[in-house]
Amino acid sequence: MRVEVKLWAVLPAAGVGKRMGSKIPKQYLELSGRTVIEHTLKLFVDHDRISGVVVALGPEDGYWGSTSYAAHPKVLRAAGGAERCHSVLNALLALEGRAEDADWVLVHDAARPCLRLEDLERLIDSLLDDAVGGLLGVPVRDTMKRANGGERIDATVDRSALWHAYTPQMFRLGLLRHALQDALAASDLVTDDASAIERLGQAPRLIEGHADNIKITRAEDLPLAHFHLRQQGRID
């Protein structure tokens, strides 16, 4: 009997936004009347192939309760951790008892509200039968330099095989949980989920998305996200 494999989403949203320098965490900044995290969540909560969404929240988070998803039946909460990798692992552990190890998990930064539905669909359709999993990304477009530790160029790096790693990053729940636990046991605070899978000797697939799937990181990113959401027709 073929066991139905489910899809889950994990949104790490426990960051404090140091580089943004705003008074409130950047995932709660407003974009045309709704918070960044509400824009991000909508795509996953409304998606009929996604069984549930786990949001990893910071211990001091006093904003989540005011969002329109605070009591949504499809949204679960998990405790964020010191680093993104801790938050993602806690969210995976929160799925115990609901999800199976063979289920797929889409890990997507709450700070990336401009993800296009077409790219999410392409990622899912491309990876559902993949042996490893993978992520959305975009090939780099600029000449890439490696610094010498200061402000001088050490070398120009061959860019022909370089990609920007974006999210969602999609892996089987059991594999990703094991990979993150293994990385953390080795004190390797991986900055994305694919790095944990790579540590195990696996090669995640790169699926090309759109460059407007930006991560709101610094102050100048907020108006840019607003522009992209308007260009996509998602805000007026």
Binding site for ligand LQXTBERG (CB under 6 A): 84, 109, 165-167, 191-192, 215
* Cβ atoms within 10 Å, residue 66: 9
Please identify, using beta-carbon distances, which residue of 113 and 133 lies nearer to ligand CTP.
Answer: 113
14 is an interface residue for ligand CTP by CB under 6 A: yes
In 75-220, the DSSP E strands lie at: 75-79, 104-107, 133-139, 144-147, 153-157, 163-172, 205-208
Task: State the binding partner of 165 from ligand LQXTBERG, ligand CTP, none, CB within 5 to 8 A by kind.
Answer: ligand LQXTBERG
Measured CA to CA, the distance from residue 236 to residue 234 in angstroms comes to 7
Give the pairing type, strands 104-107 and 34-35: unpaired
Span near ligand CTP by CB under 6 A; candidates 46-54, 76-84, 97-105, 199-207: 76-84
Residues 6+ apart with CB under 8 A from 97: none
Task: State the binding partner of 27 from ligand CTP, ligand LQXTBERG, none, CB within 5 to 8 A by kind.
Answer: ligand CTP
Tokens representing 186 are: 């080795």
Task: State the binding partner of 18 from ligand LQXTBERG, ligand CTP, none, CB within 5 to 8 A by kind.
Answer: ligand CTP
Binding site for ligand CTP (CB under 6 A): 12-20, 27, 56, 80-84, 87, 109-111, 215, 217
